[in-house]
Every structure is written in C-alpha cells, then in structure tokens.
Structure 1
Amino acid sequence: MDRNAEFKRWKAQGLSKADLSRKGSVDEDVVELVQLLNGREQYFTTSSCAGRIILLDGNINGFEVQKQNCCWLLVTHKPCVKDDVIVALKKANGDAILKFEPLILHVQCRQLQDAQILAIRSTHGLEVPLSHKGKLMVTEEYIDFLLKIANQKMEENKKRIERFYNCLQHALEKKTITNSHPKEKIKDKNNSSYTHKKKRNPEACGKCIEENDKELENDDDPGISVTIFPEDY
C-alpha cells in the first residue's frame, strides 16, 4: 500500500479515538493548536496537556518520581490555592511531590522533515518534595510560596502556547509556499543578484516568518514528542 495512503488510514484511526492523556480529552487552551496540526495531512496528535499543577504521592526513585506508580492527590489545569494542597497532603502516605508541567503534545509525523518543525523541548517546569513517608517536611508558608511560582509558570505557559501556535502557523505556511513553488525556489538559488536583493529588502511577512523560525529553534518553549511514521508499519 502507498505510504501516504497508509498514513491517512493510520491518522483516521488515531483521530477516531479519545485523547490518550489522563484526562481523555483536549484541554481548552490547546484546542486551536491541536486543530492546526490535525488539519495538516502530515500530522495527527495522540495525546496532549495544556499544562498542569499536580500533587503526587509515591516513592522517590533517585531524584525522580515515577508517575505511573504514584497516587494522584491533586491535579488542576488552572491556578492552584494553598488550601487545596493542604487538604490533599493529608491523604499522603509516602513522598508527596508538587509539580508544575508545561504543555505536552504527542504528535505522529509522516516523515522526518515534518517532525523537524516540531522537535523542541522545554525546561519550564517545577518539581519540589513536600513530605516524606507521610510527614510534611515544609511549612504552609513555603507551600504558599511554591504555589505562587507554579501559578506564575502556568500563566507564562499560556503565553508560550500562543506564541508557539503563531510560530508553527508561520512555519507551516512557509513550507506550503515552498512546496507549491519548487521551480521558483531553484530559480532563486541560481539568481544570486535576486537573492542578495531579497536579503537586503525582505518583505514584512518573510521577516516575520524568519524571526519566528529562529524563536522556535532557540526559545525554551513547549515539550513536543514526535513519532515518525514507521517504515514497516
């Protein structure tokens, strides 16, 4: 079967299922981003999270908490208040960890060049232990301090999602234009005077795309996990 046709079939199967995230649906803050990707023939999303504050109870493995072996005491995609965390901590029997996680998006990509547009990760997170073997190790004042930081990160995360959406939209439009005019692309490479003129006098739209492409490469923005359509699928 033709690989493009096979990918379309795979995509149709994927989109017919519920989002594979713990919530099982797409968060409001990333609906447009998910729709943008799923509207392109070379992508489809399998799981997503717009960002969240969570309180986990489990055992620390080294410096990391394995979420699959933990009890989720609290999870919210909105700003969190201290009282909610204090109530949730009373249920902790192990090592409770407060975490903020930014945008997470899992995307299936048709080819390597499609995945390269999305291959970025983020360190815009927070992970702090609060209790050990059920015993609270910090003060309520410190918890309140941590939540202020986590809530600020949540607001910043929303801005980054919007910026990422705009950058991705420009990058996809640029790729579409390039693919639809391959002969003009070759002509531009062979015409050095034309290329030099374009560099000295870029159009506003072109400049915007270039700046956003650079921002995608260098900015500490959302975490995107991409999977290439396998050769032997």
Structure 2
Amino acid sequence: MTTSSRSFEAKKLKILSALTIPDEAYTDLSPKGSVDTGVRDLIRDINQLQGLVTTSSCAGRISVFFEGVGSDVRNSQADRIQREEASDEPNVDSERSRQFAPTGGKGSGKWQFVSHDPIEVDDSKPSFHDLFNLQPTRGSIRPGSNSQLRLARFHFEPMILHVMAESLKHAQPVLTAASSAGFRESGIQSLRCLDDKNTCPIVAVRSSGLAVESIIGYVDNDSADGEAVVRSLVTEEYLHMLVLIANERFKTNYSRMDRFRTKLMALSTGSPSRMSSQNKGWEDAGRRRERKRAEGLQRRELERQAAQAIEKPPESEDEITIPFWGA
C-alpha cells in the first residue's frame, strides 16, 4: 500500500467512525450539527465504495436569510461552497440550529427559516409572511439612520456534496456521474494532488442552475420598540409563487440525486482499476426490469404450451409415445 493510500484509508476510517456515532451523540461543525436526513442513503452508498468517502453534504434547502450588520456579501450558494470547502470536517450539513451565521462579510446574518424538504402548501397553515417572520412595510424603505441597507433573501439551493477520493482515478467516476446527472458545475476542489501525492483530491458535486434567489424584504432598525424588524417588500402571492417554484426544484433535485447515485454505482462496479462506463456486466434498474419482464413472459408461454400438450387427447393410438429408458 502506498503512502497516499494509507493516508486516505486513515482519513476514511476517521470519517466513518464519526458517522457510526448515534444521532443524539453525533455533532460536527455544521449549524445543524449532524448529517442531513435526505442525503444519508447516498452518503452510505458512496462510503461503501473503495477509494471514496464523503466529507460534507447538504441535500438541498429552502431558506430565508437576513443579512447582518456590515455584511455586503450575499449568502449565496457560492458563499456556502467556500465555507464548506474550507472545512475538513466530515459531512458538514447546513441547517437551522445556529441562529446567526457569517455571510462572508464583516458582520453576521440570521437564518430565519430553513427547510431541507419542500414546504407544505395548505390554506390552513399560517401565511408565508408569518412563516418567514416578515412584517408589513411602512411606506418608503427605512434602512436605519446609522446602518447600510440589510436585505432579507429567499433561497432555494440544490444538493451539494464533497467526496474525497484516494486518487484522480477514483475521482474521475464521481465527476462523470455528476456531470451526466445534471450537476454541471461539479469539479475537483484543488489540484494540489498533482504535485503532492499525499494530498487526496476532493470532488465538489454541485449545480447552480437549479438555484433560486429573490430579495423579499429589508431589515428595519428604527422600529418603535428598538428591535430590528424585517419588513416585507413583496405580496403573499409572490411568496406563494416562490415556494411553489422551490418545491418543483426540489423534485428535480431529487431526480438528479437518484441519477447521480445510479451512474456512480455503475461506474464504480468492480475494482478501482476497472472503473469505466464500459462495464458490460452491470445493468441499471430499467434494463433489469425489462429483462425480468421478458423472461417472465417467455416462461409463462412455455408453461401454457406444456399445459396444452398434456390436456390435448391423442387422435389415434399411433400418436401415443411410450417412454423408453435403457441401452
């Protein structure tokens, strides 16, 4: 085993050991402090492959974020990618536990709402203004006498996943599967592995094409009680439309995740040295269903013909065949 292989195996063992800790005891550097439920099955399947291990993940999310004081950088997916790629901790999953989070600027912001599942749209539920804690606007925008304008943003962000590979050979199927599944902005995080054989390449699986971002309000620091209030700049119907769009994007996101998993499993069948899309011994779920269906139809037809042959009486004694065994 080479030095790089031993280094990778040690890192993978550490990550897998952490993931075996029960949920109530597990914690990491993410706001949630644990692995997102929607991506756990995919993580489990990837971590069973030789030469690969996941290091951070998020299955996708809908969020409402209020910019902090002094912040001039959007809490976009690009900012999230930079923060997560800077961490070597396993499976950093962004969710809701931490109320204040850096936005990349000098200040901090607040996660007012985060959901890793589609939002249920029901007339019996509270309004989206209540759900996102938005107050009616008061005429003209009032950012506050001594502060810059701080905005409230609605986001939908698709899955993002970081996979550490033992070598570039192991990383290539991840990139191929990600691109073919629709995660077009996927790539290797750093090319230091080309010069340093002890550095393991990390593949970022991501797509910005599904993302949705919209300004929906601003932070008013001049409220009567002195507390900062987030004023809405949009109607309830507009928020309803954003939620419907995000829910549809979630469906597409799940579909891409399934395609990514299927393609990666196909490319990774066999030993790492034989990782190739030309693996002829593997068939996807659709091809297997068709093969099983054809085999079942053929078997039933043979059974029907055999039953007819047994039930049909011979037309004459000459047609009676007497079995004969012996030499």
**TM-score normalised per structure 2:** 0.50
Q: 1:138 aligns with which of 234, 237, 245?
A: 234
Equivalent-residue separation in structure 2 for 1:168 and 1:142 (angstroms): 39
- Report what 1:70 is aligned to: 109
Q: Are 2:156 and 2:211, in contact at CA under 8 Å, matched by a contact in 1?
A: yes
Structure 2: state its 5+ residue gaps.
Answer: 19-26, 80-100, 103-107, 137-142, 144-149, 176-185, 187-205, 220-229, 285-327
Cα pair distance change 1:205/1:64, threshold 3 Å: same
- Report what 1:106 is aligned to: 162
Give the deviation of 1:19 after TM superposition: 5.3
Q: 1:161 aligns with which of 231, 242, 257?
A: 257
Cα pair distance change 1:27/1:170, threshold 3 Å: same
Q: Are 2:134 and 2:217, in contact at CA under 8 Å, matched by a contact in 1?
A: no
Give the deviation of 1:103 after TM superposition: 0.9
**More strand per residue: 1 or 2?**
1
Cα pair distance change 1:84/1:53, threshold 3 Å: farther
State the superposition RMSD in angstroms: 3.3
Give the deviation of 1:40 after TM superposition: 1.9
Structure 1: state its 5+ residue gaps.
Answer: 186-198, 209-233
Q: Are 2:127 and 2:236, in contact at CA under 8 Å, matched by a contact in 1?
A: no
Q: Are 1:8 and 1:41, in contact at CA under 8 Å, matched by a contact in 2?
A: no
**More helix per residue: 1 or 2?**
1
Aligned residues: 188
- Report what 2:17 is aligned to: 16
Q: Are 1:34 and 1:45, in contact at CA under 8 Å, matched by a contact in 2?
A: yes
1:119-130 alignment, distance < 5 Å: 119=175, 120=186, 121-122=206-207, 123-130=209-216
Larger Rg: 2
- Report what 2:201 is aligned to: none
Equivalent-residue separation in structure 2 for 1:203 and 1:117 (angstroms): 16
Ranked by relative contact order (alpha carbons within 8 Å, sequence separation 6 or more), the top structure is 1
Deviations 1:174-218 (A, max 9, x none): xx367359xxx9xxxxxxxxxxxxx9xx96957x6xxxxxxxxxx
**TM-score normalised per structure 1:** 0.68
1:60-99 alignment, distance < 5 Å: 61=72, 65=76, 68=102, 69-81=108-120, 83=126, 85-87=128-130, 88-90=132-134, 94-99=150-155
Equivalent-residue separation in structure 1 for 2:249 and 2:169 (angstroms): 31
Does 2:79 match 1:40?
no
Cα pair distance change 1:7/1:64, threshold 3 Å: closer
Cα pair distance change 1:135/1:91, threshold 3 Å: closer
Secondary structure class of the residue paired with 2:14:
helix
